[in-house]
Structures are given as structure tokens and as C-alpha cells.
Structure 1
Amino acid sequence: MLDEENKQSRKHYKRSGLAYGVLGAIIAVFFITTVFQWKGISINFNTSKPTAQADELKLGETQEAVTQAVNETAQTVVGVSNIKEGPRGLQKAGTGSGVIYKKDGNQAYIVTNHHVVENASQLEVILSDGTKVEAELKGSDPLTDLAVLQIDSEHVEEVAELGSAEDVEVGQTAIAIGNPLGMEFAGSVTKGIVSGLNRNIPVDINGDRQPDWQTEVIQTDAAINPGNSGGALVNLQGEVIGINSMKIAKEKVEGIGFAIPMDVAKPVIKDLENHGSVERPYMGVSLQDVSQVPGSILERKLNLPSAVKQGVIVAGVAQGTPAADANLQKYDVITKIDDKKVTSLMSLRHYLYTEAKAGEQVELTVYRNGEPMKVSLELSSQ
């Protein structure tokens, strides 16, 4: 634990951390067709948010502050081994990183990425001193790519201080701590800047190489390599401002990595720790984008007016669900929810998961056999 002198030193850095801030930000609209190393998704990525190109900190202060931040956080960053059942028994299938964020009695809790622990038969955590301990998966969430593990707290001395995305600025120093290439380079530290905020990255949940969700991330040029996933993105005060998640892996692209902001991660972590999953509003339907269906079928099969070019088609209704209770039917086309346009399945999910809550009533605008109608539906949780 930090002694009193270190605590006072840390307060000093919080007061004097960024001396001059960002000299400038270059605003660019860029369009990249890329491949994400995390999921192998090939998809257009479009953004017009500003990207910082320089960080004007005093050299002496930067070096001292970085060292202090690393010293405060490094012991809380661990390795995570995904062990799966194979033809020759249990074998290591992959490795990543994690961050110890809580110690409670005999238990300690670690946040990592969903893709680090996905489909594991067993999980093993390697602490900063090399100690290996068995881990239990408390919960995992594919949409945000977050997971929470539980271990015995016997060997845990320090926990990370989780920061807030509200205090993060483009151009400030960002430090990535993790285990690139497995445990071969355990505890590696790379430094860069926060290159962009409020980026939205498409996520493929079902493996059809189509985006099912867009997760909010921080962009950084601090090197994030295989094995860094689930590690800490840290500011100069030693606070974890993001959980490293992915990077753009493309021959002509360098220095574009992403971390999940702590303001996004904190409520998910809490749900996973306490409930094992994230509760989200649920309708009980399977859906397909109107844009993915040929116009001739829309007109002939659904009798959909030619002017309706966006929305989602109800492909099926599960029994005993809010959709069934509301009498939604197969081939209904949903074009609005609470007067918000539904342009795609992703836009509908975004409204449900960010604007609506379980137990609330929503009003859907639906085309049935070509005729518009209103349907009232009470959301449940899933």
C-alpha cells in the first residue's frame, strides 16, 4: 500500500500533472476500411471526431509522472490465461490481461475483456509477482467486451483506482500496461496520448461478419498488442481511464488502438459482479434489417410501400414475451419506437439499451400488410 509520503506525492501530481496541455488538434474526416484484430471484423469505420497529434508536456515532469503512475498501477495488472479442452486434454488457448479493481474479504475481483475469457474451460490469473491462481468467471458481456473474474485475495495487496472518462481530454498522456504476446513480456508499459474520444466501433456478436452493436471507446496511439487486451489504460495520476480492448490491424495503419472508457465499464462491471450478466430491456423478437431484403420481396411478400426503405422486419415472435403479449406478428415492419426512427436493428438496440428500461412502455410504429399502426409494448429484462 502507498505510505503517507507517496500519497502526498500523488496529490501533487494531480494538481500539477498536465503543464501546458495540448498544443493543437488536427480535425480530419477520415474513412478507413479495416480489419479489427479483436474479432476479425471487416467493415467500414467512419468518424469525424478530432484526433490529437501532439502532447506538449515538460519532459522532466512527464518522465517523473509516468514513472509514478506506473509504480502505482503496475501491481494491479495481471495476466489471464484461457484454458480449453482440446484433443490432448486441457491446454492454453490464449492469454490476455486484467486489472484488479476490488478486494473484499477473502475475494478479489478482476476486470478483463470478454474475448479474453470466451469459451474457456478454466481460467488462470498470473499476478505481477508470477504467482498463478485459479479464477472463477463471475460474468461476461459480449456487447461491451467486458468480463469479471473472482480470485482468492490472499496474494492481492493493491487494487487499481478507477478514474472517470469525464476527466479525459484529447492530447493527454495515456499509458498502456499489460502482457503483450502472452506472459513473455509481462508487465510491459507503452506510452502515448489520447487520440480521440467518443469513437464508436462495430461489434459482431453472432459471427456473421455483420455489426450487431457499436461500443464506445477511447482511441489511443499507445501500443496495444496481442495479450494487452483487458489491461489498463492509465493517466498520469495512476487512475485507470480505460480497459484496453482492440487495435486496428492493417498494413498501412499504425498507432490506432482502443480502450473501453471507465464510465462505460463501471456499470457493466457492477452488474457482472453482482448478477453475472447485464440486464437490458427485452422485446422477444428476432429481426432483420429492411435494407437486407430485395425490394421486390418487400412489395410482394410484405406489401410494404416503396417509400419505406428503412426499418426492421419481425422474423419471429417468442411465446410468453412482451412482443407476443403486444400481438406483434411475423412480417410486421417496425419503423419507429417512441417516435424515434428505426433505421436498422442496431439503431433499435441502441435505443432500447440506452434510452429505455425494463418495465417501461414503448410505442412502436409498425407496418402490417402495408398499413401503418401503433403497438404498445411493455419491456421486460433479459
Structure 2
Amino acid sequence: MHLDVLGVSDIRVRGDNEEEIGDYKVYLTGVRKGRAESGVGLFMRNTIARKIVSVRHINERMMWVDLSVGGIRTRIVSVYSPCEGADEDEVDKFYEALSDIVVMVNRKDRIVLMSDFNARVGNRTEGYERVIGKCGEDMEANGNGKRLLDFCASMGLAVTNTFFKHKAIHRYTWEARGTRSIIDYILTDFEFRRSVRNVRVFRGFFDDTDHYLICSELSISRPRVEKVKSVCKRIRVESLQDEEIRQKYMDMISEKFRTVDSKQVQDIESEWVAYRDAVIQTARECLGTTVCKDGKRRTSWWNDEVRAACKRKKKAYQKWLQTRAKADRDWYIDERNRAKQIVVESKKKSWEDFGNNLERLGQAAGKPFWTVMKNLRKGG
């Protein structure tokens, strides 16, 4: 069977471990000290593991990884809940820690929780219409089940097992001593539930446990959208080296400014817009355009300093996404502001250089252009 992600629980390991087993990257979390109890883990197929952006080992009952697939960030959580009848404080601490994991997920991102919740949620949907379907066990929820249902309702999660109709042997996840029940679940946020295509049990996959394998078929990638390749064009500024073309350009731009309605030039901003549009439009008409051979658009303000600032900003952003620490967020904001300032200054210098070059060309061809500019400034 081809499994991309496998969650395991009650594996009774010590400490946090990461290793490779065959085609899988394995992440395990157990007790820090004392007797090896509980323990959870995730097996990630190598093709999926390459898309992991962060891993967190919380405690012996929960851990998670974040994937970035198709532009969507998805958090996958492996859990092992206290059994029915466990100490109330232990159950409270479990759900408090689980709540912290869920609430930290952005609304635009997705979350999947899996493994052994030791809860029977039944199939009574009243009050939980978006949380469970009618394909669960034909019973009322037990104590742990009610706690899980309330948690899901408050966090916007759905118990996906209960929405798919299957034979009983493909629904019950645990069986021992002549008794069977559904206590293992795969939960998703309400939005992501629409991407779940099927959930069912497979028997005979394990031979050393009384739990059966529960599988979910879902899609965590956006549909591919075919991009329309745009043609990159640039103005043939090298044509200005020809004296005849240069003179023609100056005559055309002078005429362009003579036709500008002086009433439209009210302040320095409107004057700048008129100047910019006239320069670019006249350049296209007089000098013509050509297709960039390498397909890359020329951007005069993009330089080594801007490139380095953007790299630092990206690095800080990725760090903050991984840790969500306040210090890393402050670092990212500082780098973002610094990069923005560097871009502004680079663009300003680029336009100043362009203006200086244009001025030299104007001086070589005469003063009509600057006479028109002065008249515009004076409203004449």
C-alpha cells in the first residue's frame, strides 16, 4: 500500500528521534525520562519529507510537522490521548496542549490530526452537524467522546471517519476480546474536509496490535493552473546613439509636452506623472521595442544591494514561520523595513540617473524640451 504519511501512537519510546527507514523519514517523540510510555510518531515518505518546513516534538502524546505543498501550508499532528477514565487533570493538560497547536495555524492554512484519541464519538449529530456525520458508531458519545466533540466544535474541526459510509469491518478501528469500537480518527479543519475523498479501515496491515490501519485519501495541493507566458519587451534605448533618431526623439517629446493641458498640472506630483508618461510613450513610438532574448525584464534599480536585502528578508521570514517566536518576528519586521527602504532609495537613484542621461541628450540636441518644462511649471 502506498502511504505518504503514517501516524503512529503508543509506541513507547524515549526522547525525540529522527531517522530514515527505507523510503520514509521517521520522526518519533517519547518520554524525556522515566519509564517509556505513550509515544507518538510520523512516517513521512521521502518525496513528502522534502516539503517539510518545520518539526515540533511537543511531548510523549503529541508532535507535528508543517508541509508546504502547492503553495498551501499544512500541519500534520500525531496524537495519543489519555484513555477513558484517566485523571481529569491529565485530560485537561492534553487538550490544552492540543489547543495551542491548533490555534497557532493561520486561517488560510490547513491542519490534519490523526491517531488514537481513545474516544467514542458515536453518530448523534445534534449540535455537532459540522463536526461529525452519521456513519460513526450507533451510540451516544462516551466521556472522552464528548470532550473530543466539544474540542472539535470550538476549534472548527471535523471527524472525517464519520462522513463516509462503509461496511462495519471498514469502520471499526479497534477490536479485542470480542469487543470492537471506533477510537482512532483523522480530523481536519472544516475547509479542508472538502478535500477528503475517502476514509476507511484496512485490516491485516499490522499483526502486533489490536488497532487497525485507518486511511484517508485527500489532496493537499492546489489545482494546477496553466500560466500564459508573457512576452518581455524593452525600449530600444541604444537607438539614441544615432544623432538623427536622437533629434527626432527630442522634437517628438517637445511636441508631446506642448499638447499637455496646463490645467492638469496642479502640483509636483501631477507634473511628474505627465513627465513620466510623455517620456515613456514617446520613447516607445520613436525608438521602438524589442523582445528580451533571455525572457527577463530589465529593472535598472535591481542591484546587488537590493538582492542581498531581499535575501535577508526572506531568511528572516522563513525563520519566523518555523519558530513563531516574538524575537524572530521582530527580526523579520526589521529586515522587511530595511529592504523596503533600500528599494525606495535604489528606485530614486535609478530615476535620477535616467534624468541625468536624458538631460545630457537634451543639451546635445538643444533646449526646446526644457523650455516646455519651465512653461508647464509656470502654468503657461
* Larger fraction in strand: 1
* Larger fraction in helix: 2
TM-score category by the smaller chain?
under 0.3
| TM-score (norm. length: structure 2) | 0.20
| TM-score (norm. length: structure 1) | 0.19
Greater C-alpha Rg: 2
Structure scoring higher RCO (CA < 8 A, sep ≥ 6) equals 1
